[in-house]
Amino acid sequence: MFPRPPPLSCDTFVALPPAAPGGRVVFGKNSDRPADEVQEVVHFPAAEHPPGCTYISIEQVERTHAVVLSRPAWLWGAEMGANEHGVCIGNEAVWGREEVCDGEALLGMDLVRLGLERADTAEKALSVIVDLLEKYGQGGNCMESNMAFTYHNSFLIADRKEAWVLETSGKYWAAEKVEGGVRNISNQLSITTKIDREHPELKEYAKSNGWWDGEKEFDFAATYSYVNTARMTTSGGRYCEGYKLLNKHKGSITPEIMMEILRDKESGINMEGGFMTTGSMVSVLPQQPNLPCIHFFTGTPDPARSVFKPFIFVPDITQLLKTTSPTFGHDDPVKKQPRFQSKPDRRHELYKKHESAAVVMETIKDKGKEMLKEIQELEKQKISQMESILQNGCFDTKEAVNLFSQCVEEELKIYS
């Protein structure tokens, strides 16, 4: 059964008061995916939807919440996103003792979107995910390729008041409530003995497989994975490096600090190579219900040379055309059987222009430096505007309708 595929993708972070100042929760995630995969940023208003998901159809709820998603352009679900109630979710690939199902079921990314569409708090999103997991299971290829890439999932789910870590092994799961301080997840099970909710057969299943003797204190990560839990925060992996960076800034974690963490290349959190950071997200969730939650997305690879663009939920948001990939309907090779026989060009307009700009940054030193400086200044300006909204407690909803799209236009001008 072992060795498993190497842990290749993603880190998700959350800071709650007092680790984050100003009575705010700060959420962040890097989506690390195949380097040639396009990630789009899309918005879906609250609505009634037909049954969907990437591979299978499931029963739809009567009405879904409005969501903004950062997702690989070929699939239905999302790597990360938020909804109109201030719930944020990011997922990670994890492997352990339980075999990964070869059959097509719900992807972890489908579960991210379903949790956001159906829940108005973090704990309700957790319940949505585990209920669907029990009913439909998880499985299917997580990469747009003939090469199989399958995994189980962990999730970090946050709202204005608290966060939950949910980690799965097949249909079995454990959840840990985070009510203050910092928490991160990466590509390994990390819930040890603090288990606040669990699958009703979690311990009995482990016992029946000889993974736990039923006597010593139950440790989820130690039981369901091969990780030495005593070394998780002291070894040199990304989980450990993320843990260190969060704790280094504990007490002063702002959206800017979270962006800085996501941009960190030395730690491996900002990945480069065949698997790289293809999209990033940072959200600030004020605990005061009268203040808006603000969600920043790049929609482009490598956060070190991307702009985190702000998004606020308001009615009648302008469609995010410049970060939405082309669609191919029934001709999409993901929908046809056998799947993945070809790979269409899924690049959206921002992706194309950013791709060209990245070449300039790498090859024409002076021009590249100037371009990088301009996008950094644009981002600072937007962060300052958002901070003003949070400080003053008021904003123009008419401006917010175009907030993200307008920032994309300004970014495109720099690249042109």
Q: Can you say how many angstroms the Cα of residue 24 is from the centroid of all Cα atoms in its chain?
A: 19
Residue 145, Cβ neighbours under 10 Å: how many?
Answer: 15
Separation between Cα atoms, residue 297 and residue 295, nearest integer Å: 7
Residue 315, Cβ neighbours under 10 Å: how many?
Answer: 11
Instruction: Tell which phi-psi region holds residue 103, choosing left (phi > 0), alpha (psi between -120 and 50) or beta.
Output: beta
Q: Which of 10, 53, 88, 142 is catalytic?
A: 10
Pairing of strands 24-34, 275-286: antiparallel
The closest of 94, 132, 95 to 113, measured between CA atoms, is 132
Beta bridge partners of 30: 11, 280
- Mention every residue, 6+ apart, whose C-beta is less than 8 A from residue 59: 51
Contact indicator for 154, 165 with CB cutoff of 8 Å: yes
Helix H segments across 252-364? 255-262, 349-363
Where do we find the tokens 């003053």?
392
Where do we find the tokens 């009648």?
316
Separation between Cα atoms, residue 263 and residue 267, nearest integer Å: 9
Separation between Cα atoms, residue 399 and residue 413, nearest integer Å: 20
Residues 262-275 as b or e (16 or more Cβ within 10 Å = b):
bbbeebbbbbeeeb
CA end-to-end span of the chain, whole Å? 51
Active site (annotated) includes residue 10: yes
**Residues belonging to the active site:** 10
